[in-house]
Amino acid sequence: MHGIIHLELHNFVKSQYGEAALDQLLERAQPSTRIVTPLSSYPDADIVAMVTAAAELTGKSPTALLEAFGEFLVPTYVALYGSLLKPTWRTLDVIEHTEQTIHRVVRRRQPGALPPRLRTVRVGPKMVILTYDSPRKLCAVARGISRGLAARFGEALTINDIECMHRGDPACIISFEVP
């Protein structure tokens, strides 16, 4: 997994729980390295171990932590990739076009970065259906990013899990709707 995710997970833990909590988390999770850089890649198992340890330390579910982490990622992602977004885009537009804009650029600029492949269908002006089928099964992060985008744009957003790999489905299919 790309280093920016690892670095931002460290920043998320520090911002929510403090530096001592990050040290405790790293001690418990035993990732392949304690020092991460944004342009390197690290084993997916490191994130799994860190989220598992964070859930044990906080008493929160991994899903809740990953969704909160997804929301936390939005300002960083907007700072890094905001120039790729059209000024007229809102939450659903960003969700709809993430694969063709941001993920395409990430793959080209950063070999080794493997963002999930996303497929979207714009059902109408107020709804997008997203298919997420990454083997990482981090659909909770996608939901959190979407919530963070909606907050950034001052929009209400309804999210519905139609199918989910965590329930045995072959992919996660999520609907996003604005009123």
What is the model's pTM?
0.92
Low-confidence ranges of the chain (pLDDT < 50): none
**Which tokens go with 79?**
């700072």
| pLDDT score at 41 | 83
| pLDDT score at 113 | 72
CATH 3.90.1520.10 assigned to domain 66-177? The reply is yes
Each domain of the chain, given as residue ranges in start order, spans 3-60, 66-177
Ramachandran assignment for 90, one of left (phi > 0), alpha (psi -120 to 50 degrees), beta (any other): beta
| pLDDT score at 9 | 94
The SS3 of residue 155 is coil
| pLDDT score at 106 | 81
Report the chain's terminal Cα–Cα distance, integer Å.
35
